[in-house]
Amino acid sequence: MDDRTQPWDRVPELGGPPPRSRPPVPGASAPSAAEQPAADDATGDVVTERDRSWQSWGEAWSDDDGHEDWDDDAPRGRGFWRSAALGVGELLVTAGMVLLLFVVYEVYVTDFLTAQKQDELATELREQWADEPADARSLTQVELGDAFGVLRIPRLGEDYTRVILEGTEEKQLAQGPGHYVDSALPGEQGNLALAGHRVGKGSPFLELDTMRPGDPIVVETADSWFVYRMLGDPATGDVDADPSGIPGRQIVAPTDVQVVSPTPNAAASAAPTGAYLTLTTCHPRYSARQRMIIHARLDGGAISKAEFPDGPDALYES
């Protein structure tokens, strides 16, 4: 069978002569000397221009600072710890932002919400008092959660007024000062005990530590005013110098419940020795570790609102 392949396309026989080269393409010029492949001086191999380009790129890469000594494991280890540190940092920043928002909410937002609720309670209470017959305004019993009186403390501001609710659970304290269930009602013998937040939820007792012996604490009911005065020595300001032996102000542990006994600091079962008022709040500010207590005694009897519609003189003491 005839072999019709061109001589330059044939595979050379072992030990035979090399095949003839492909004839030149008509019209094509021969490569210049600069374009001819050159032999490598060290190996004698033919090195093309493309080979030189790859070789130059490789040398530039190996000479780049910080690349020639790379270890496959080192970057991976550094990357892991870098990612871990970034993750922890993001978590801490997020936690800080959440905590900050919580503080802002507790201190400022709840004050605003409680102030609105106090306005509503005051309006509802005065409407209720106005609708009640005069002979039905005597305060003898209060249902849990109901508003029944208004607390005024001139030392804390001329316009300081807080509606009092029955109960000392958070549901009541979030709206205003709460009356300890089973403690005395305004004007009664025993201890009219009221609790309130120091910071947040309206902060009704925020500045309770500024009170001084002899300061009036006025409680308004449907038909009467009741004036209590902080215990201690008004002349010297000594809160521990009251003749009754009851301090005007004291700091106690949350477990010291005797402060709201019928006679403050006496046994809960002992008979009352007078008509007292006790205010309790957290201490120090922004902490519930202790309790600040203010004790006061009723100064005189009930003052008729019919005779003094604008309140007793004690409300206007400077």
Does residue 118 sit in helix, strand or coil?
A: helix
Q: Is residue 84 predicted with pLDDT exceeding 70?
A: yes
What is the per-residue pLDDT for 6?
Answer: 58
> Do the domain assignments include residue 242?
yes
> Do the domain assignments include residue 306?
yes
pLDDT digits (tens, 9 = 90+) for 67-77: 445 455 555 66
Q: What is the mean pLDDT of the chain?
A: 84
Exposed/middle/buried for residue 51 (C-beta within 10 Å: 0-12, 13-18, 19+): middle
Q: What is the mean pLDDT of residues 174-181?
A: 97
Domain residue limits at 215 = 104-132+146-316
pLDDT digits (tens, 9 = 90+) for 274-293: 999 999 999 999 999 999 99
Contact 187, 298 (CB under 8 A): yes
Query: What pTM, to 2 d.p., does this model score?
Result: 0.71
> Do the domain assignments include residue 251?
yes
Instruction: Give the total number of structural domains in the chain.
Output: 1
pLDDT digits (tens, 9 = 90+) for 1-48: 555 655 555 555 555 566 555 556 555 555 555 555 555 555 555 555
Partners of residue 229 on adjacent β-strands:
216, 297
When pLDDT is cut at 50, 70 and 90, the band that residue 80 belongs to is: confident
pLDDT digits (tens, 9 = 90+) for 182-211: 999 999 999 999 999 999 989 999 999 999
> Do the domain assignments include residue 162?
yes
List active site positions: 197, 282, 291
Q: Is residue 259 predicted with pLDDT exceeding 80?
A: yes
pLDDT digits (tens, 9 = 90+) for 88-122: 888 888 888 777 676 666 667 778 888 999 999 99
Using alpha carbons, select from 5, 24, 303, 314 the residue that is nearest to residue 155. Answer: 314
What is the per-residue pLDDT for 272?
Answer: 97
Phi, psi of 177 (to 5 degrees): -60, 145
For 152, residues 6+ apart whose C-beta sits below 8 A from its C-beta are: 160, 161, 217, 218, 219, 220, 311, 315
CATH number of the domain that residue 208 is part of: 2.40.260.10
Beta strands 190-195 and 275-283 are parallel
Six-digit token string for 145: 């959660």
Measured CA distances, 138 to 24, 99, 184, 274 (Å): 127, 47, 14, 21
Q: Flag the least confident range among 42-56, 150-164, 256-270.
A: 42-56
> Do the domain assignments include residue 89?
no
**Chain CA centroid to CA 168, Å:** 23
Beta strands 249-252 and 224-230 are unpaired
> Do the domain assignments include residue 240?
yes
> Do the domain assignments include residue 15?
no
> Do the domain assignments include residue 18?
no
